[in-house]
Amino acid sequence: MSTGKSPIRLYVTSDLKADQGVFLDRSQAHYVGNVMRRQVGDPVILFNGRNGEWSGEFQEIKKNAALVHVMELLREQKAEPDLRLYFSPLKKTQTSLVIQKATELGVSEIYPVLTSRTNAEKIRLDKMELQALEASEQCERLTIPVIHKPMKLDQVLTGLEADRTLVFCNERSDEGNTIKALQPFIGSTKVAILIGPEGGFSKEEADKIASLENCVPVTLGPRVLRAETAAISVITLVQSVLGDWQ
């Protein structure tokens, strides 16, 4: 019988449907039993990025595994905006903040980009993936953003699709109002945001980016923002103007 605790929310890779059992791995079992102190009969919410969100109940909680009985569909899976974030990795704490907030704000894919001024510690994709997963669990998102391997800026620019709008955060841009700059592109279904490193892009890089036919240079006001602040700000603006606000 349930102890009355509020359900925790977990991502699983298993398919989800009513009246089936789903096993949790060792790390999840440790989190459930030792960190969250859940017991047999307590409620849980599961999602896998494919089958929507389901209610469940713990049937077994052991040291190395746990078993959940899947019960009822709570939310159907639905399409999300095709919104990419290209950003230059920062120091560990700031990069973690970008991953977490980009996940909460609905970014579908995240690409670390290496520029001439990128100055970051060792890039840990496994850490980024875990941060995105945990943020998705906490913000009630139905998917987890894909974290890609680091790419050089030239690779990003040459590989960008012709039909994808590129929102280029450029402090040197003459655009005075980001919302006005974005309005002509309302209806775009494929969008990417490009954020530079601390210190910004070099002039050569900025000129190359701005020369792209599908590029929309934007500024974020008269003050110079830290890279992580710029990322959060422009994702919010793009989602509110171009995407489906979720």
Share of the chain above pLDDT 70, in %: 94
Do 36 and 99 fall within a single domain? Answer: no
pLDDT digits (tens, 9 = 90+) for 16-32: 999 999 999 999 999 99
Do 202 and 134 fall within a single domain? Answer: yes
- Confidence at residue 246, expressed as pLDDT on a 0 to 100 scale: 44
pLDDT class of 172 with cuts at 50, 70, 90: low
Do 69 and 131 fall within a single domain? Answer: no
- Confidence at residue 176, expressed as pLDDT on a 0 to 100 scale: 61
Q: Considering the domain boundaries, does residue 2 fall inside one?
A: no
The rounded distance, in Å, linking the Cα atoms of 95 and 125 is 11
| Backbone region of residue 155 per phi and psi (left: phi > 0; alpha: psi in -120 to 50; beta: other values) | alpha
pLDDT class of 244 with cuts at 50, 70, 90: low
Do 59 and 92 fall within a single domain? Answer: no
Residue 35, domain CATH: 2.40.240.20
Q: Please give the residue range of the domain that contains residue 17.
A: 8-75
- For residue 42, the cross-strand partners are none
The rounded distance, in Å, linking the Cα atoms of 229 and 221 is 12
Task: Determine which of 23-37, 55-69, 231-245 has the lowest per-residue pLDDT on average.
Answer: 231-245
How many domains would you assign to the chain?
2
CA 118 to chain centre: 21
82 three-state secondary structure: strand
pLDDT digits (tens, 9 = 90+) for 182-217: 888 888 889 999 998 888 899 999 999 999 999 999
